[in-house]
Chains A and B, each alone.
Chain A
Amino acid sequence: MNSLNLHGIQKSFGQTDVLVDVDLTVEAGTFVTLLGPSGCGKTTLLRIIAGLDAPDSGTVHGRGMTFVDTQAGIFIPPQARELGYVFQDYGLWPHLTVAENVAFPLQMRAMAKADIRERVTEVLGAVQLLNHADKRPEKLSGGQKQRVSIARALAGKPSLMLFDEPLSNLDANLREELGYEIRRLTRELGLTCINVTHDRREAQLLSDSIALMKDGRIHQVGPPDTLFQNPIDVWAATFLDAGNLLPGALFGLDTPTVLVGRSAATVDPTGTLHGLVTATLYIDDRYESLIQVEGHQLKVFTATRLNPGDSVCLRIDTRSVRSLSG
């Protein structure tokens, strides 16, 4: 009942097709991220779900009702869809206090004042901002602002939450912390969530499932692990940075390109591939080296430091070699 279904969504601005025949189902209580490069149509799709944009054709069903059906001429405006929306730039009203910002959706539903106060306290408590209730947004840090934005979205008890790159304006440590918090809150409340981002880390951090988008189409859908282990083609593997891309001939395969999982390549004196280290760096408690093999570049993790200029032998676990199309 709280699932979201998009069917045959088309949208073009002038001559450019922004969305081409998009079908997408988001199961109730799951968190789906639309991931893709800028211009792939993901933000337009989110705006269409929210009602801030209308598709040229197609249907949108959510919360057990029809949001949009172009053939039947149905379009529910955003104010009647009762969803939560968390904006990339927070979208907090600068002339209202934190509590007033959070109270706004409740006032729109003409709730009683006492109930509003109670609910505002409740959601501000949930995002740990109770002692900032009377501050103006300008006094808050970026992370706090985004928490207010989340509290405001949650205030009206929506069953469907939309996120527009909620973490992209935050610095690295905060992103992870808030990411875990969004995960916890949305799962506890059993919310159906759609997130939009171009950042694969943000997608991995938040999602049960990722819909990879390219040129206005859904390119591939799957849980993060499946998606990153089995990208369907060269473009997906490249965009996801899923591993090393090498010519199939190196492994005696017919396919022009194969994907080799990053941890599948190890430096081993008995390895059959000969390579030259061109750069090396230390990152996240391990060494990462760029190695040239027959004119192709591989990124390889090692426990010990390699030096640029070193000749090495690489062993590749052939079980993790996947043929890619395109």
Chain B
Amino acid sequence: MYHRLNKSRLAPALWFTSLVTLVIIVGLPMIAIILFAVFPKINELSLTAPFSLLIPNLTDPRLSGAIANSLMLSASVTAVAALTALPLSLLRARMSKRQGQFWDVCFLIPFLIPPYIGSLAWMQLLQRNGFIEQLFGFHAGAMLYSFTGITLVMALNLFPLIYFSASRSLMVIGSRYGDIARVCGANPLSTFFRIDLPLVLPALVSSGLIVFILTIEEFGTPEILGRRFGFEVMVTAVHDKFTNWPVDLAGASVLCCVLILLAFLAYRGQQMIVAVYQTQVDANGFATAEPSTSVLLRLSTVGVFALVAIIAVALPLASVTASAFMDTMSGGLDRDNFSLRNMQTVFAPGSDAINAILTSLSLAIAAALLTALIGFLVAFTLVRLPSRGTAMLDFLSILPNSIPGMAVAVGLILTWNLPFWPVTPYNTLLILLLAYLCLMLPYPIRMLTTALRQLPTSLDHAAYVAGANEITVIRRILAPLLAPVAFAAGFIVFAISTRELVTSLMLSPPGVETVATFVFRQFDQGSMNVGMAMSLLTILLSAVVIGAGQRLAGRTFR
């Protein structure tokens, strides 16, 4: 057909490569989950009794209970995180630049603490004989091992997402719209409710939905804290179906389907809000609010921020650090109990810990390089070579945003355990790499498509007209321009990969540990201090890597 001649033959080749790559990494596991949920005998390659287990599974009280628990937990974590973040971001808008930057850096720190490490840190703090009881004589174990406890621990870890989104939105909105309202005769209260709140609401809701998704996907915290009082959510229920004999593949698939569906709906909702409201504020009137001059307001602002920072940042960090340098947990916070033994254990040549670190580092480097490369290819195909099948590619590239790690793990197990593969990555490190690729691909794809959309198409067209083909355009024009962004994305992928827990737990071949599974096993075996030493290293590594990545990303061309 004539349309085939529109561009050179390279364009379809690039397009095909992108699609096949995404289908293998993202598509196959998703198809497997759906097939296993619908056809219970599919692992025997039989399509008999379709849908026969769907209804029984969905009406199983244990499953519906887990679904209800997941929804309740996600809703309350989102609510608590939003209620914590909103006042902070309103106060942030009236801060001086330097003060604001200081607190922003502070609230970035929770991102560096993986939730499972945060939960372990809170256990050390609040349980009977924990740090708080040693220092102040009371403990809050009962509260920690309750719905309230889980909610608070997760909300404290996630509220910075809403804080950053809302305060950035407030900064863009600036004081201009509020000033106009004042000129029109509105008092501060009605200015807030009639002008500022409606304008900041989209940012609030869309980041709230992200918090909702992250909560519903979270495995570590419910597993560590919830297990103590029999609180089961969807993700931990799926985990049980795989770890308890007999393995219930159909049940796990049905749960995963529900999980993906919920996450997908929340994600679509978030995308729609962003799309509808993104352009509404005209950036012409960019004027940030004046720093407040009222001493009372400034003092109380510092007070509120310090309080939240102590609870959400300082306490967990201190707890991890203290545990990492204690000889025994029972020895308590005592000078005689200080020891470097845990660090020595971690760094002992040939130790399990060192092997776990090396495994995680090599996986993370491979994941960073590959996701950056695939992300670049997909971004170029999506943004610059639109064709009729773009919707499919677009869908596959967005899908992992709403696939919880547990579902990725289940999908990969189901896919690569099927009898007909001549070779399978299952039970090798390769399956972990596949899992990381699927989970991390959204970061480079999102960052690179955004960056590429901002590059005017005339840059490509000028090269084509000058005689270049697609490969030359990529190599000489786009790759050098996007390299800093690709690097930054790679660093983020690296940082997240080094601490990934769920798929590592589910997919690690026998005898292989990653940093996260190592920490988790130390907690299971009661060697908490060694686990915390490893955790501290993870947090520091994340900080260094993400910091370096951000610095690189700042060096983009204008």
Q: Determine whether the beta carbon of B3 is less than 8 Å from that of A54.
A: yes
Docked complex: A206-253 residues within 8 A CB-CB of B: none
Question: Does residue B476 face the partner (Cβ distance < 8 Å to A)?
Answer: yes
Minimum Cβ distance to chain A for residue B271 (Å): 23
The docked-state distance in angstroms from the alpha carbon of A138 to that of B481 is: 14
Residue A108 contacts which of B456, B459, B467 (CB distance < 8 angstroms)? B467
Distance from A20 Cβ to chain B, minimum over Cβ atoms (Å):
18
* Contact assessment for B467 and A105 in the assembled complex, using a CB-CB cutoff below 8 Å: yes
Contact indicator A156/B2 (Cβ below 8 Å): no
Measured in the bound complex, the distance between the Cα atoms of B114 and A88 in whole Å is: 48
Given contacts A79-B469, A94-B481, A109-B467, contact A152 B461 (CB under 8 A): no
**Proximity bits, A77-117, B CB within 8 Å = 1, else 0:** 11111111101111111110000000011001100000000
Q: Max chain B CB contacts within 10 Å: which of A51, A82, A89, A93? A: A93
Tell me which residues across on chain A come within 8 A of B472, comparing CB atoms.
108
Bound: A79/B7 CA distance, A = 10
Say whether A78 contacts B465, CB under 8 Å.
Answer: yes
| Chain A CB within 8 A of B464 CB | yes
- Total interface residues on B, CB under 8 Å, equals 25
Choose from A83, A84, A95, A156 the contact partner of B557 (Cβ within 8 Å): A95
Q: Determine the chain A residues whose CB is within 8 A of the CB of B481 once the complex forms.
A: 93-95
Q: How far is the CA of A74 from the CA of B4 in the complex (A)?
A: 11
Q: Assess whether A70 is interfacial by the CB under 8 Å rule.
A: yes
A52 within 8 A of B: yes
Indicate whether A50 reaches chain B with its CB closer than 8 angstroms. Answer: yes
Query: B465 touching A83 by the CB < 8 A rule?
Result: yes
Asked whether A81 and B465 contact (CB < 8 A) given A70-B2, A75-B5, A108-B472, the answer is: yes
How distant is the Cα of A78 from the Cα of B470 in the complex, in angstroms? 11
Interface residues on chain A, size class? 35 or more
CA distance A210 to B6 in the complex (A): 29
* CB atoms of B5 and A50 under 8 A apart: no
Determine the distance from Cα of A104 to Cα of B476 in the docked complex, in whole angstroms: 9
Residues of the B chain whose Cβ atoms lie less than 8 Å from the Cβ of A64: none
Known: A73-B2, A108-B472. A93 touches B466 (CB 8 A): no
Asked if residues B461 and A78 are in contact (CB atoms below 8 Å), the reply is yes
Contact of B458 among A70, A83, A87, A108 (CB under 8 A): A87
The answer to whether B459 touches A93, judged by C-beta atoms less than 8 angstroms apart, is: yes
B558 touches A94 (CB 8 A): yes
Residues of B within 8 Å of A91, CB to CB, are 456, 458-459, 461-462
Tell me the complex Cα distance, A156–B467, Å: 10
> Would A105 and B466 count as touching, CB distance under 8 A?
yes
Within the complex, what minimum Cβ distance (angstroms) separates A5 from chain B? 20
User: Contact string, B456-486, partner A, CB cutoff 8 A, digits 1/0?
Assistant: 1011011111111100100011001100000
Q: Is the CB of A50 within 8 A of B456?
A: no
Compute how far the CA of A77 lies from the CA of B558 in the bound complex, rounded to whole angstroms: 30
* A95 touching B464, Cβ below 8 Å: no
Binary contact readout A173-203 vs B (1 if CB under 8 angstroms, 0 otherwise): 0000000000000000000000000000000
A87 touches B461 (CB 8 A): yes
Asked if B8 is at the interface of the complex by the 8 Å CB criterion, the answer is yes
Most buried by B among A51, A89, A105, A108: A108
Which single member of B5, B461, B469 contacts A52 (CB below 8 Å)?
Answer: B461
If A54-B6, A94-B481 touch, whether A108 touches B461 (CB-CB below 8 Å) is no
B459 near A156 (CB under 8 angstroms)? no
| Cα separation A78 to B6 with both chains bound (whole Å) | 10
Q: Which residues of B contact A93 (CB under 8 A)?
A: 459, 462-463, 477, 481
Which residues of A lie under 8 Å from residue B7 when comparing CB positions? 77
Bound Cα distance from A109 to B458, whole angstroms? 20
A104 touches B466 (CB 8 A): yes
In angstroms, Cα B455 to Cα A89, docked, is 11
Known: A54-B3, A138-B557, A138-B558. 9 other contacts (CB 8 A): A50-B461, A70-B2, A75-B6, A77-B7, A81-B465, A84-B465, A89-B456, A95-B480, A104-B466
What are 29 pairs between A and B in contact, CB < 8 Å? A51-B464, A54-B2, A54-B3, A54-B6, A75-B2, A77-B464, A77-B469, A78-B464, A79-B466, A79-B467, A79-B468, A80-B467, A82-B467, A83-B465, A84-B465, A85-B462, A87-B461, A89-B456, A93-B477, A104-B463, A104-B468, A105-B465, A105-B467, A108-B467, A108-B472, A138-B557, A138-B558, A152-B466, A156-B466
* Interface of A toward B, CB cutoff 8 Å: 50-52, 54, 70, 73-75, 77-85, 87-95, 104-105, 108-109, 138, 149, 152-153, 156
**Which 5 pairs between the two chains have the least Cβ-Cβ distance?**
A91-B458, A108-B467, A105-B466, A75-B5, A91-B462
